[in-house]
């Protein structure tokens, strides 16, 4: 489905527990605050990319350390943050007609950010074959009801990978179906997320060559 161009509200989600990250580093700073080049944190990089394209994002977090990294954006503390869908539901009062959700632990190429922010789809997920990097949606009470349905399934322990569950539910697939439909657009240019220390270390070593590939330097 396509709709007339309307500038969306951008949300950067950084409210998750980060359990895999904490286990892999034995505590320490939130992964979103880690610096790939020694100067810019992962989440402040995302913030800067959005601002450079004319979007002022809302950062959704309960972490003071993350707040300190994102001083140029409005910041919202979600009431609930156990699941990503739960965090989204906590932001409902901030939704406008069109909304973009970015994830605060993803290192986005400039091309990926632009593709997501400027998409004219009324509902679309973006990612690789293994990871979801973001989505765009038009707000409706019906969509919120679907988010609540997925939340209840997750609470009951009937699905894992909550964004994948949401995507598959909206596509009409089974929660465990590994397939892709019209609501999914691939980004395969080196954009990737950070779950554990090994992911961060790999991205840190590849970062400069990726920036050359992306035309940033």
Task: Record the tokens describing residue 97, joined without a space.
Answer: 């007609």
**Which pLDDT score, from 0 to 100, does residue 1 have?**
45
Q: Look at the chain and report how many structural domains it folds into.
A: 1
Beta-bridge partner residues of 124: 136
Instruction: Provide the pLDDT confidence category of residue 5 given band limits of 50, 70 and 90.
Output: low
pLDDT tens for residues 50-69? 999 999 999 998 888 888 88
Nearest-angstrom CA–CA distance, 210 and 217: 10
Residue 30 lies in a domain: yes
pLDDT tens for residues 94-147? 999 999 999 999 999 999 999 999 999 999 999 999 999 999 999 999 999 999
Residue 2 lies in a domain: no
Residue 216 lies in a domain: no
CATH of the domain at 36: 3.90.550.10
Domain that holds residue 77: 9-207
Nearest-angstrom CA–CA distance, 146 and 85: 10
Structure-model confidence comparison of residues 110 and 29, the more confident one: 110
Residue 32 lies in a domain: yes
For the chain, the average pLDDT equals 89
**Which pLDDT score, from 0 to 100, does residue 49 have?**
96
What's CA 93's distance to the chain center, in Å? 19
Instruction: Provide the pLDDT confidence category of residue 168 given band limits of 50, 70 and 90.
Output: very high
Task: Record the tokens describing residue 13, joined without a space.
Answer: 């989600």
Instruction: Provide the pLDDT confidence category of residue 18 given band limits of 50, 70 and 90.
Output: low
**How would you classify residue 161: left for phi > 0, otherwise alpha for psi between -120 and 50, otherwise beta?**
left
Q: DSSP letter string over 116-150? A: HHT--BSEEEEE-SS-EEEEEEE--HHHHHHHHHH
> What pTM was estimated for this model as a whole?
0.91
């Amino acid at each position: 489905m396509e709709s007339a161009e309307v500038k969306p509200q951008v949300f950067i989600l950084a409210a998750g527990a980060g359990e895999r990250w904490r286990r892999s580093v034995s505590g320490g700073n939130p992964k979103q605050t880690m610096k790939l080049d020694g100067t810019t944190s992962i989440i402040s990089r995302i913030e800067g990319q959005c601002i450079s394209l004319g979007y002022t994002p809302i950062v959704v977090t309960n972490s003071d350390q993350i707040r300190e990294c994102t001083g140029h954006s409005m910041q919202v503390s979600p009431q609930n943050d156990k699941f990503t869908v739960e965090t989204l539901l906590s932001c409902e009062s901030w939704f406008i007609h069109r909304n973009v959700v970015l994830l605060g632990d993803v290192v986005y190429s400039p091309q990926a950010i632009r593709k997501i922010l400027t998409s004219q789809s009324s509902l679309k997920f973006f990612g690789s074959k293994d990871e979801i990097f973001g989505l765009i949606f038009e707000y409706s009470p019906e969509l919120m009801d679907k988010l609540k349905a997925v939340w209840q399934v997750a609470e009951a322990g009937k699905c894992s990978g909550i964004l994948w569950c949401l995507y598959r539910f909206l596509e009409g697939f089974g929660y465990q179906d590994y397939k892709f439909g019209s609501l999914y657009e691939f980004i395969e240019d080196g954009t990737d997320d950070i779950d554990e220390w090994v992911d961060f270390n790999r991205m840190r070593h590849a970062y400069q060559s990726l920036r050359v590939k992306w035309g940033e330097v």
